[in-house]
Amino acid sequence: MSEPAAVATTPSQTIGGRLKSSTLREGAGLVVMYIIILVAMSLLSPYFLTTRNFINLLLYSSSVGIIAMFTTMLMVGGGLDLSVGSTVALVGVIISHAQYSLGIWGAVVAGLIAALIIGLINGVLVTRVGINALITTLGMFSVVRGLAFVFSGGLTEPMLDPLFGELGRGYVAGIPVPVIVFVIVTIACAIVMRNTNYGRAMYSIGGNAIASHLAGLRVRRYQMWAYILSALSAGVAGILLTSQLGAGAPQAATGLEITVIAAVILGGTSLAGGKGTIIGTLIGVLILGTLTNGMILLGVSAYYQQIAQGFVLLLAVGLDQLRTRSEA
Alpha-helical regions (H) of the chain: 11-44, 51-76, 84-123, 133-152, 162-169, 177-195, 197-207, 209-214, 219-245, 256-266, 278-297, 302-327
Whether residue 21 has pLDDT greater than 60: no
Residue-by-residue DSSP string for 277-291: -HHHHHHHHHHHHHH
Whether residue 19 has pLDDT greater than 70: no
Q: Show me where the domains of the chain are located.
A: 50-253
- CA-to-CA dists, residue 119 to 63, 123, 235, angstroms: 18, 6, 10
Residue pair 161/99 in contact by the 8 Å Cβ criterion = yes
- Model confidence, pTM: 0.88
Residue pair 116/235 in contact by the 8 Å Cβ criterion = yes
Instruction: Tell me how far apart the alpha carbons of residues 119 and 133 are, in angstroms, rounded to a whole number.
Output: 12
- CA-to-CA dists, residue 240 to 48, 196, 198, 246, 256, angstroms: 25, 28, 27, 10, 14
Specify the range with the lowest mean pLDDT, choosing from 14-18, 23-27, 178-182, 252-256: 14-18
Cβ atoms < 10 Å from Cβ of 87: 33
pLDDT for the residue numbered 59 = 92
pLDDT class of 24 with cuts at 50, 70, 90: low
**Adjacent-strand bridge partners of 176:** 171
Which whole number is the average pLDDT over 229-252? 96
Q: What is the percentage of the chain residues whose pLDDT exceeds 90?
A: 73
Instruction: Tell me how far apart the alpha carbons of residues 290 and 284 are, in angstroms, rounded to a whole number.
Output: 10
pLDDT for the residue numbered 304 = 86
Q: Mean pLDDT across the chain, nearest whole number?
A: 89
Query: Would you mind telling me the total number of residues written for the chain in this entry?
Result: 328
Give, to the nearest 10 degrees, the angle between helix 278-297 and helix 51-76: 140
Whether residue 195 has pLDDT greater than 90: yes
Residue-by-residue DSSP string for 59-117: HHHHHHHHHHHHHHHHHHTT-----HHHHHHHHHHHHHHHHHHHHHHHHHHHHHHHHHH
Which whole number is the average pLDDT over 43-68? 92
pLDDT for the residue numbered 328 = 62
Specify the range with the lowest mean pLDDT, choosing from 95-99, 198-202, 315-319: 315-319
